[in-house]
Amino acid sequence: MNSPKLLSTRPKGVVLSASQLDVFDLCKRKWAFQYILNIRTPPHPSAAFGSEVHGHLERWLKFATPPPQETRSGQVATRMLVNLPPPGTGAVEKKFFMETPRGHNYTGIIDWTGAFNARPTVIDHKTTGNWDYAKTAEGLLFDTQGIIYSVAGCLGFNTEELDLFWNYGSTGKRMETRAVKTTIYLPVVSERFEYIEALSAEVLLAYQNVAGPMELPPTPSACGAFGGCPFQRDCNLSNEERIRGLMGTPVTMAERMRQQAAAAGGNGVGAPAPGQDQQPTQQPTQANVPASPFFGESFTGVPVQTVFGQPPWVEQQQPPATFNPEGGPNPPESGQALPPPVVPAAAAGDGQKAPGRPRGAKNKLKAMGELPTTEQWAFMIGVQAALNGGPQSVEVLVQAGDLALAAFKAKFG
């Protein structure tokens, strides 16, 4: 085997995730508390809120269930819908296992993957209370999760090029949304994946030889990251270590990758360096294309084997049993049209005004701060579905138009 491959079942041994690798990269001692001693702390309130938003988006994409408008998490999710493909398309919450030639195993759950605007696309939902912490298009290609998902996506689609898309929703007062997208090229991502492979080797070595956190070096500069490390009292840092930690920030793997890309003259966004051919030397034959790719669709213009040396023959996975979290009928089988979704209506007493045209500089910030009503967001979702040509785009657009018209008549008679 000379290329990574996707597996149909969980492999034996240690299976690494992007989050575990990031913890180890940030502070090895914190990693040992969590993964050697198995001490798991309650999720931060912001993480718990993000999980609620994630659940709303999952139910929308699977069953066209509108997010509840009586909850703030539902309101945040509603505003994120305008960036997403229509419900009933692609693969939602697709779990993968990937094995590399070095014997390292990885796993992840991709929030949505499929053909979006006729291109292979990997989407992940994110929430943030501060846009300074959101990834940029450039940052996605130095992000552990972004790199692992890119490699898995290219293998699953049998392509060397796909779109990586983080769908952000702000949890702040204005509840804005932001689509952070970039096109990735496997020749570039595969080089950065080597950093992850090297880090994974360190993690596996620690699993074999470390019995407790104190056997690993701390990273004092990371004590305050992500709201503060919950293991600070048990870490027994000296005063000198604590003071030194306040004087700098941890040098992460992402920073090392950036430095390497800058030294090599790369553009840092994922495209091949100047002069590097993006096209394969030979176009694939039909025999090189798996009959049923992992993500359900095949994009064969630029085959994966030009990077890893062989076609990614994907082991077939049995479809999971259908499950409807709402307790109603199971969703239709793949290929069948979903019933027309119910576009979310405005909550009683919602009273938010649509943004008007500002008259003068004094009113500009006030006008920008006002949010669209739920009817306007519903109509925008319908338009987005129609543009994407989903199987139920007409029904979504008609319902959204009727809702917007009813709201107009109710207000103006």
Taking only the tens of pLDDT, the chain with its 413 residues reads 358 999 989 999 999 999 999 999 999 999 999 999 999 887 778 888 999 999 999 999 999 999 999 999 999 999 999 999 999 999 999 999 999 999 999 999 999 999 998 899 999 999 998 888 899 999 998 999 999 999 999 999 988 899 999 999 998 888 889 999 999 998 889 989 999 999 999 999 999 999 999 999 888 888 877 778 888 888 888 777 777 666 666 667 777 777 777 776 654 444 444 344 443 333 333 333 333 367 766 654 444 444 443 333 233 333 333 333 344 344 434 334 434 444 444 333 344 443 444 444 334 333 333 444 555 555 556 555 555 554 445 555 566 666 666 666 666 66
Domain's final residue, options 283, 308, 333: 308
Contacts of 40 (CB under 8 A, 6+ apart): 34
* CATH number reported for the structural domain that contains residue 296 in this entry: 3.90.320.10
**Quick one: 45 and 169 in the same domain?**
yes
- Residue 358 phi/psi, 5° resolution? -65, 140
**Quick one: 277 and 167 in the same domain?**
yes
pLDDT score recorded for residue 278: 40
**Quick one: 280 and 168 in the same domain?**
yes
**Quick one: 366 and 303 in the same domain?**
no
Task: Tell me, yes or no, whether 121 lies in a domain.
Answer: yes
**Quick one: 304 and 407 in the same domain?**
no
Task: Tell me, yes or no, whether 54 lies in a domain.
Answer: yes
CA distance 396 to 403: 11
| Rounded alpha-carbon distances, angstroms, from residue 315 to 106, 113, 276, 285, 293 | 16, 18, 32, 20, 9
**Quick one: 298 and 376 in the same domain?**
no
**Quick one: 225 and 104 in the same domain?**
yes
**Quick one: 287 and 407 in the same domain?**
no
Residue 369's domain spans which residues? Answer: 361-412
Q: What is the DSSP string of 136-154?
A: PHHHHTT-HHHHHHHHHHH
pLDDT score recorded for residue 211: 93
Domain's final residue, options 245, 274, 308: 308
**Quick one: 301 and 365 in the same domain?**
no
Task: Tell me, yes or no, whether 329 lies in a domain.
Answer: no
CA distance 289 to 283: 11
Rg of the chain over Cα atoms, rounded to whole angstroms, equals: 23
Task: Tell me, yes or no, whether 316 lies in a domain.
Answer: no
**Quick one: 210 and 61 in the same domain?**
yes
The answer to whether 320 and 139 are in contact (CB under 8 A) is no
Task: Tell me, yes or no, whether 299 lies in a domain.
Answer: yes
Task: Tell me, yes or no, whether 320 lies in a domain.
Answer: no
**Quick one: 125 and 186 in the same domain?**
yes
The total number of structural domains that make up the chain:
2
pTM > 0.75: no
Closest Cα partner for 102 from 209, 3, 189, 22?
A: 3
Q: What is the DSSP string of 71-87?
A: SHHHHHHHHHGGGSPPT
**210: exposed, middle or buried (C-beta count within 10 Å: 0-12, 13-18, 19+)?**
middle
Domain's final residue, options 308, 341, 372: 308
Task: Tell me, yes or no, whether 127 lies in a domain.
Answer: yes
pLDDT score recorded for residue 237: 82
**Quick one: 291 and 386 in the same domain?**
no
Task: Tell me, yes or no, whether 328 lies in a domain.
Answer: no
pLDDT score recorded for residue 344: 42
